[in-house]
Amino acid sequence: MNEDRFEFGKNWKNYAKDVEDEHIRIAEQSLIEALSPEQFKGKTFLDIGSGSGLFSLVATRLGATVFSFDYDIDSVECTQAIKDRFAPNSDWSIEQGSILDEEYLSKIEKADIVYSWGVLHSTGNMYKAFHNISTLVKPQGHLFISIYNNQGSKVTRYWLGIKKEYVNGNEDVRSKLLKKALHELWGRTFTDDFFDTGDPLKSWNEYKKYRGMSAYHDLVDWVGGLPYEVATRKEVTTYFRKKNFELVWQKPNNGTGCNEYLFRKVDK
Ligand SMILES: C[S@@+](CC[C@H](N)C(=O)[O-])C[C@H]1O[C@@H](n2cnc3c(N)ncnc32)[C@H](O)[C@@H]1O
């Protein structure tokens, strides 16, 4: 993978320094919105593109045996640091690996729950990643993924241009692009919050209610996040239906964010 890449893991390391119990509690809510806590107990949980490691941590606390891997060594180190800090004695292994590397995947056991949130569209080959991930789910197991929503080629081209400029730019260019995106994505919210509550940063400061994330680090992840692909809900559900995955839950996103999908593998 020699193409332009965003350093996801550096951003995760930066975010993870501030992770507290509240972030973990909120991250747990986002997992059990789709799967019940009972579904984790005694099950295997494979976290592909674990990033910060926060969701692997939640799965381990819910009683699953966890295996996490990420392509980016900084993400791997970040996941390891979260484990060392919050769950050092848990049944949780962490490695560097890629969802596009079939030789690596051939050594990995299929899991009851395969989780890959915001990852497959950032690999450089989303449909190969879709195929590979579909082989890692046990029969009757669950696949929980999220994929950037397709808002049409004009919007995709626009953000692709910004991301390429960011990844290839120096500090000044990056800072300029972050400011521009902040204005475009958050300007209206700052204004509404100011007039509604007197605090323009109300939603910004409450952003961690969304999966335990941080508004600033999610903004950096979005502006820099390359490779970048998108898919409509229909494209994703049709693809996985053909592979015998039944859609059991979804959380749509009508903007540039991620549609979330929970599938169950229905074949023997
Ligand atoms: C936006 S982050 C999502 C992190 C985490 N899943 C979450 O929900 O917070 C995307 C992650 O996917 C990882 N990634 C990108 N390409 C990958 C690949 N080919 N195989 C495994 N992980 C990959 C990145 O390094 C990054 O840590």
Distance 136 CA to ligand 1 centre (A): 17
> Which one, of 124, 155, 120, lies nearest residue 239 by Cα?
120
Residue nearest to atom 16 of ligand 1 (CA): 123
> Which one, of 185, 37, 29, 186, lies nearest residue 113 by Cα?
37
pLDDT per residue over 5-40, tens digit each? 999 999 999 999 999 999 999 999 999 999 999 999
Distance 191 CA to ligand 1 centre (A): 33
Answer yes or no: is the C-beta of 226 below 6 A from any ligand 1 atom.
no
pTM score of the predicted model: 0.96
φ, ψ of residue 221 to 5 degrees: the values are -60, -40
- Domains, the chain, ordered by start: 8-150+228-265 (3.40.50.150), 153-224 (no CATH)
Q: Is the pLDDT of residue 1 over 80?
A: no
> Which pLDDT belongs to residue 256?
86
Give percent above pLDDT 70 in the chain. 99
Average pLDDT over residues 91-111: 98
pLDDT per residue over 157-204, tens digit each? 999 999 999 999 999 999 999 999 999 999 999 999 999 999 999 999
> Which one, of 119, 123, 173, lies nearest residue 143 by Cα?
119
Beta bridge partners of 96: 70
Q: Is the pLDDT of residue 2 over 90?
A: no
